[in-house]
């Protein structure tokens, strides 16, 4: 059997998904035994022109990290889609916008002003903004267009599989590479490298159906390591988050912030979480419930931490 | 004038592109380094609770 051809790319990403992949350590040598890397900017020196030169469908599997933030991200996503048999949205940025998707709480003009004019480390007295085309004496330089909104990968191309996490754990990445190498691919559209149940279902902390009278920020209380964090007043996203990360945060005594995204069938993790919270709040009146809920700092930023562009809201006005 | 594009630059975190212009003698006339990316952490961290910011900005660079 000929070796698999693998590509990996980052659009608006942090590189954490790449590093999680490299964190399979010496097993990367086993990957090299079954697959040839044909594009992977963080690790290997292929250029866009190389990818353009490949025949359509030349790449067997493309692991695509990052949100679509600008025209270059969209252009390369479309190029890699054309050149790849299988496209995987890898990590929460690609699936639903991820952390870069928090920019949909802001406006493009305000982002530009903050970054290129106002920021304390910027010196730009002529107030120059990046231009998509800029004439220099030797020719014209091009920069991508920064979009008004952050998009997910599936907003711009057809996606075959989704691998959640910010980043996905290395153990899950290794397991998924095994599935890819075996050729026994799941049905199109499947979420891979995760479980089809909530994090709460896999959590061993004691739950007592205790209701919450007050919410806290993690630094405000010392939690009991044996008991459910939500019942102790921390906004743990476990009830609405897909399991599969080996419960990393809750094992470290920190509430889940939801990076594995919503469980199957839920399209809006934040809205689902609001309804989950409603069932744990201990209030005698709607006013009291309002008061208790209003103590949660930045609920939108927390409940849509990894998925504002992919949610029903998509952006704040 | 001959133009050499190094796109993308590789084996680092982030996006970058280098445009090199050669003169008729084959020497470098000028060279431009471009960063074709922005996510805007400077702006979207505004309004987030201070204790959450380290978790958010750890995604500036995961390398
Ligand atoms: S999903 Fe998380 S780890 Fe992966 S690129 Fe996005 S911010 Fe980085
Ligand atoms: S809310 Fe969090 S701490 Fe409580 S059971 Fe669910 S995952 Fe565990
Ligand atoms: S506990 Fe939640 S936030 Fe932490 S890694 Fe798992 S899914 Fe992500």
- Test site for ligand 2: of A202, A223, A224, A229, most ligand atoms within 8 A of the Cβ: A229
Contact of B14 with chain A, judged by CB distance below 8 Å, is answered with yes
Nearest ligand to the CA atom of A259: 3
Confidence of residue A102 (pLDDT cuts 50, 70, 90): very high
- For A211-247, the pLDDT digits (tens) are 899 999 999 999 999 999 999 999 999 999 999 999 9
Q: What number is the average pLDDT over the span A287-298?
A: 91
Per-residue pLDDT, A1: 61
Could you tell me whether strands A4-10 and A35-39 are parallel, antiparallel, or unpaired per DSSP bridges?
parallel
Choose the closest CB to B36 out of A72, A219, A297.
A72
Choose the closest CB to B49 out of A99, A137, A217.
A217
- Other CB atoms within 10 A of residue A233 CB: 22
- For B20-58, the pLDDT digits (tens) are 999 999 999 999 999 999 999 999 999 999 999 999 999
CA distance, residue B23 to nearest chain A CA (Å): 9
Judged by CB atoms closer than 8 Å, whether chains meet at B11 and A42 is answered as yes
A228 C-alpha to center of ligand 2: Å?
A: 5
Judged by CB atoms closer than 8 Å, whether chains meet at A114 and B46 is answered as yes
* CA A243 to ligand 3: nearest atom: 7
- For A28-71, the pLDDT digits (tens) are 888 888 899 999 999 999 999 999 999 999 999 999 999 999 99
A238 C-alpha to center of ligand 2: Å?
A: 5
Contact of A37 with chain B, judged by CB distance below 8 Å, is answered with no
Contacts of A138 in chain B (CB under 8 A): 1, 3, 21, 29-30
Per-residue pLDDT, A316: 85
Choose the closest CB to B43 out of A15, A110, A305.
A110
CA distance, residue A82 to nearest chain B CA (Å): 19
Instruction: Output the furthest CA–CA distance in chain B (Å, rounded).
Output: 58
- For A129-167, the pLDDT digits (tens) are 999 999 999 999 999 999 999 999 999 999 999 999 999
Domains of chain A: 4-99+150-182 (3.40.50.700), 100-147 (no CATH), 199-303 (no CATH)
Judged by CB atoms closer than 8 Å, whether chains meet at B38 and A42 is answered as no
Judged against a pLDDT cut of 80, whether residue A100 lies above it is answered with yes
* CA A207 to ligand 2: nearest atom: 5
Q: Which residue has the tokens 């996203």?
A: A237
Q: Which residues pair with A141 in a beta bridge?
A: A134
* CA A19 to ligand 1: nearest atom: 3
A78 C-alpha to center of ligand 2: Å?
A: 39
Which residues 236-265 of chain A have a CB within 8 Å of chain B? 257
- Other CB atoms within 10 A of residue A196 CB: 13
Per-residue pLDDT, A32: 87
Q: What value, to the nearest 5°, has the Cα angle with vertex A241 and ends A240 and A244?
A: 150
Per-residue pLDDT, A267: 87
**Could you write out the three-class secondary structure of A113-173?**
HHHHHHCCCCCCCCCCCCCCEEEECCEEEECCCEEEEEECHHHCCCCCEEECCCCCCHHHH
Across chain A, mean pLDDT equals 95
CA dist B30 and A120 (Å) reads 30
CA dist A116 and B33 (Å) reads 17
A121 C-alpha to center of ligand 3: Å?
A: 33
């Amino acid at each position: 059997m000929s070796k698999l051809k693998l590509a990996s790319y980052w659009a608006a990403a942090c590189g954490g998904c790449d590093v999680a992949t490299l964190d399979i350590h010496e097993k990367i040598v086993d990957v090299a035994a079954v697959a040839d890397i044909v594009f992977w900017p963080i690790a290997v020196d292929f250029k866009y022109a190389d990818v353009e030169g490949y025949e359509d469908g030349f790449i067997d599997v493309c692991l695509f990290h990052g949100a679509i933030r600008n025209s270059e991200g969209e252009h390369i996503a479309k190029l890699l889609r054309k050149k790849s048999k299988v496209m995987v949205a890898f990590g929460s940025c690609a699936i639903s916008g991820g952390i870069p998707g928090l920019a949909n709480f802001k406006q493009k003009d305000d982002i530009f002003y903050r970054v290129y004019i106002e920021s304390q480390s910027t010196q730009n007295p002529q107030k120059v903004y990046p231009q998509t085309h800029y004439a220099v004496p030797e020719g014209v330089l091009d920069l991508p267009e920064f979009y008004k909104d952050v998009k997910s990968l599936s907003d711009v191309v057809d996606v075959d599989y989704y691998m959640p996490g910010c980043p996905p754990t290395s153990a899950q990445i290794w397991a998924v590479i095994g599935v890819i190498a075996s050729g026994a691919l799941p049905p199109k559209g499947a979420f891979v490298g995760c479980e089809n149940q909530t994090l709460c279902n896999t959590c061993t902390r004691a739950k007592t159906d205790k209701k919450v009278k007050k919410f806290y920020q993690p630094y405000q209380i010392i939690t009991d390591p044996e008991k459910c964090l939500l019942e102790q007043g921390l906004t743990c996203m476990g009830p609405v988050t897909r399991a599969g990360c080996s419960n990393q945060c809750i094992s470290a005594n920190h509430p889940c912030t939801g990076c594995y995204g919503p469980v199957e069938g839920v399209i809006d993790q934040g809205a689902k979480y609001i309804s989950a919270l409603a069932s744990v709040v201990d209030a005698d009146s709607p006013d009291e419930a309002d008061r208790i809920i209003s103590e949660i700092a930045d609920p939108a930023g927390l409940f849509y931490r990894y998925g504002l562009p992919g949610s029903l809201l998509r952006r704040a006005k | 004038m001959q133009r050499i594009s190094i796109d993308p630059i590789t084996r680092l975190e982030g996006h970058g592109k280098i445009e090199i212009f050669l003169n008729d003698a084959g020497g470098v006339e000028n060279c431009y380094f471009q960063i074709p990316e922005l996510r805007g952490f400077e702006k979207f961290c505004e309004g987030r609770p201070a204790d959450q910011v380290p978790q958010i900005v750890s995604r500036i660079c995961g390398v």
